[in-house]
Amino acid sequence: MAGFAPGALVRVKDDWPETRGPVHIRTPHYLRGMRGKVVRRFGDYPNPEDLAFARPAAQRALYHVAFDQPSVWQEGKAGDQLLVEIYEHWLEPA
Amino acid sequence: MEKDVPRAHHDLGGVSKFMCEPVDVEPHALTDFDKEVDGLRAVLGSKRVMTVDELRRGIEAIPEAEYHRLSYYRRWIRSITDNLLVKGVITEAELRAALDRV
């Protein structure tokens, strides 16, 4: 994967691995399919989705992604943001 | 919000039925049981027997009704026990024998 620069517009994949068997997912359900903006890249970490099953885990980039809070929660003031840590394989260009 | 989505039962963010009670943010004392479970987890981690990721996965696999009934550290010990059984570190017979002695 090419990676995302700070400021890149991204969409969280609207994917539900929960429906396909036992999984460990760090991407909250309420963000699936939502658009956000990359704030920073923390670095690369072993994929926890594999670590959770004691499988060999590839390195994955972890990002801070900002989301417009009112459109996620239907509450809060204009300009309020949610800041969430999301792994790169959950993001696609938006 | 509250979209009708196939979320996992532990994935509670923004789920309205959990927003009815105010969150108790006051610090509270840990019991001896809590500390013992925490210590056990730390030893299993440092000895590379199981990772915190496996701990979390085991917690998330607890059936929903039991998950909500168990305290924070009881979820931990349930996950640790399940992980150690699956890995063969302990056997079910050993677990039963140990529980009989309590």
> Does the A9-93 domain belong in CATH 3.40.50.300?
no
Residue type, B51: T
Q: Is residue B10 in a domain?
A: no
Does the pLDDT value for residue B1 go beyond 60?
Answer: no
Q: What is the pLDDT of residue B95?
A: 96
Q: Is residue B18 in a domain?
A: no
Which residues of A fall within a CB distance of 8 Å from B7?
A: 18, 29
Q: Tell me if A34 sits within 8 A of A76, measured CB to CB.
A: no
pLDDT class for B19, splitting at 50, 70, 90?
low
Percent of chain B with pLDDT over 70: 93
Q: What is the pLDDT of residue A2?
A: 63
- From first to last of its 94 residues, what are the pLDDT tens digits of chain A? 469 999 999 999 999 999 999 999 999 999 999 999 999 999 999 999 999 999 999 999 999 999 999 999 888 899 999 999 999 999 999 9
Residues with Cβ within 8 Å of B42's Cβ and at least 6 positions away in sequence, in order, are: none
Quote the pTM value: 0.88
pLDDT class for B75, splitting at 50, 70, 90?
very high
Residue owning tokens 């009708």: B4
Tens of pLDDT, residues B59-69: 999 999 999 99
Q: What is the C-alpha to C-alpha distance for residues B83 and B86, in angstroms, rounded to an integer?
A: 5
**E strands, A5-87, where?**
9-12, 35-46, 59-68, 81-87
Q: Is residue B32 in a domain?
A: yes
Q: What is the CA radius of gyration of chain B?
A: 16
Q: What is the pLDDT of residue A63?
A: 98
Residue owning tokens 């590839």: A58
In chain B, the number of structural domains is: 1
Q: What is the pLDDT of residue B2?
A: 61
Q: What is the C-alpha to C-alpha distance for residues A35 and B40, in angstroms, rounded to an integer?
A: 41
Residue B29 DSSP one-character state: P
Q: Is residue B3 in a domain?
A: no
Q: Is residue B20 in a domain?
A: no
Q: Tell me if A24 sits within 8 A of A52, measured CB to CB.
A: yes
Q: What is the C-alpha to C-alpha distance for residues A33 and A18, in angstroms, rounded to an integer?
A: 15
CB-nearest partner of B1 from A23, A51, A73: A73
Which residues of B fall within a CB distance of 8 Å from A23?
A: 8
Q: Is residue B78 in a domain?
A: yes
**E strands, chain B, where?**
none
pLDDT class for B15, splitting at 50, 70, 90?
confident
- The residue among B5 and B86 whose pLDDT is bigger is B86
Judged by a CB distance cut-off of 8 A, whether residue B57 touches chain A is yes
Q: What is the pLDDT of residue A70?
A: 93
Burial track B32-59 (b if 16+ CB lie within 10 A, e otherwise):
eebeebeeebeebeeeeebbebbbbbbb
* C-beta atoms of A19 and B57 within 8 A: no
Q: What is the C-alpha to C-alpha distance for residues B13 and A69, in angstroms, rounded to an integer?
A: 13
Judged by a CB distance cut-off of 8 A, whether residue A33 touches chain B is no
Residue B13 token pair: 């963010």
Q: Is residue B97 in a domain?
A: yes
* C-beta atoms of A30 and B56 within 8 A: no
Q: What is the C-alpha to C-alpha distance for residues B44 and B52, in angstroms, rounded to an integer?
A: 9
CB-nearest partner of B57 from A53, A73, A74: A53
